Amino acid sequence: MDQFLQQLINGVSIGSIYALMAVGYSLVYSIMNFSNFAHGGVIMLSAYMGYFAIVLLNVSFGVALLLATLGATLIAVLIERAAYRPLRKRSAPTLYFIISAMGMSILLENLVIATIGPQFKTYPIIFAESTIQVGNLSISKMDIFMLIIAAVALVGLVFFLNKTRTGVAVRAATYNARASQLMGVNVDRIVSIVFALGGALAGIAGVFFGIRYTVYAQAGIITNKAFVAAVFGGLGSLPGAIVGSILLGIIETFVAAWRSQLRDLTTFAILIAVLVFKPTGLMGKNTEDKA
């Protein structure tokens, strides 16, 4: 039982990182109907920003997290302006957006390799005492902090979308952007806000990913897992993205504890199974009803 609970805690911890990533995917998908694969580049850059803020600027972890979040937010908005808005103005096909997203992801990765280098970077130890013992269970302080920050960020996002006028405008645009524009909603501004929100969550996820694992130019590939989690939960559904991420984190953890080489195989087997048997995912909605 102790081993089961230990793996469950580890799975929820990993799932919380996936949730922050997957929500960014779902936010963009819900309003633009395409998967923003450049999201991985934003996460990778935020991991670097947090690392350099701590190592070079010698700031506290809280300040580094804030700087990385602000930096990721700005980068996400700039990506939307440079790579997607011109296509949106021309009413380009969805395929063009996907190609542009993939190109932007490759550009960011190679830009880091050309400037910073391909070497792996490791965050310094954030907390002196890294674990807390609860009976026979060992819980990382960083995992606890990660869960709290992720929960606060996601609850704040839900509050923003449901309780503010701008959030209501975002939800309206996800139903029908053209109709919202006719009703006076500035769709360009709403799209920028959606990318900013996704970028902020990516910034938090990137820092925690860098702390839990390591920082390198190809780190953006981790968003493949977030994409699977978003599809698992239901693309376009924020609750679905969160539930799918937590479940995926738990499944991966238990599979890895049994046979580590089957972890990724299981993840993408889930993706194929969901697409074949339940394309809308666990909590997804039809394209006409995505919010």
- Report how far residue 167's alpha carbon sits from residue 170's, in angstroms, rounded to the nearest whole number: 5
Find the helix or strand (DSSP H, E) in which 23 lies: helix 2-32
Candidates 162, 170, 204, 209; CA nearest to 186 is 170
At 64-121, the pLDDT tens digits run 999 999 999 999 999 999 999 999 888 899 899 999 999 999 999 999 999 999 999 9
How does residue 4 score in pLDDT terms, banded at 50, 70 and 90?
A: confident
Q: Which of 135-139, 142-146, 202-206, 228-232 has the lowest mean pLDDT?
A: 135-139
Q: Which two structure tokens, joined as six digits, stand for 98? A: 């996907």
Rounded mean pLDDT of 141-155?
85
At 278-290, the pLDDT tens digits run 888 887 655 444 4
Q: What is the pLDDT of residue 289?
A: 41
At 80-89, the pLDDT tens digits run 999 999 998 8
At 50-68, the pLDDT tens digits run 999 999 999 999 999 999 9
pLDDT higher than threshold 80 for residue 237? no
| Packing angle of the helix pair 39-55, 223-233 (nearest 10 deg) | 130
Find the helix or strand (DSSP H, E) in which 290 lies: none
Q: What is the pLDDT of residue 2?
A: 66
Output the pTM of the full model.
0.87
pLDDT higher than threshold 80 for residue 235? no
Q: DSSP H helical segments within 33-164, as ranges?
A: 39-55, 61-79, 85-89, 94-115, 141-163
pLDDT higher than threshold 90 for residue 136? no
Rounded mean pLDDT of 4-24?
85
Candidates 49, 162, 171; CA nearest to 108 is 49
Candidates 2, 60, 27, 15; CA nearest to 190 is 27
Q: Which range, 13-17, 176-180, 213-217, 263-267, has the best average confidence (pLDDT)?
A: 213-217
Q: What is the pLDDT of residue 178?
A: 78
Q: Which of 153-167, 172-186, 239-253 has the lowest mean pLDDT?
A: 172-186
Which residues have C-beta within 8 Å of that of residue 84, sequence separation ≥ 6?
32, 97, 100, 101, 191
Asked if residue 121 lies in contact with residue 215, where contact means CB atoms within 8 angstroms, the answer is yes
Instruction: Please state, in angstroms and as integers, the Cα–Cα distance from residue 57 to each residue in 35, 63, 72, following that order.
Output: 35, 10, 18
DSSP annotation of 81: I
Asked if residue 233 lies in contact with residue 4, where contact means CB atoms within 8 angstroms, the answer is no
Q: Which two structure tokens, joined as six digits, stand for 186? A: 């500035």
Q: Which two structure tokens, joined as six digits, stand for 222? A: 């981790």
- Report how far residue 20's alpha carbon sits from residue 202's, in angstroms, rounded to the nearest whole number: 6
Q: Where are the domains of the chain?
A: 14-121+135-220
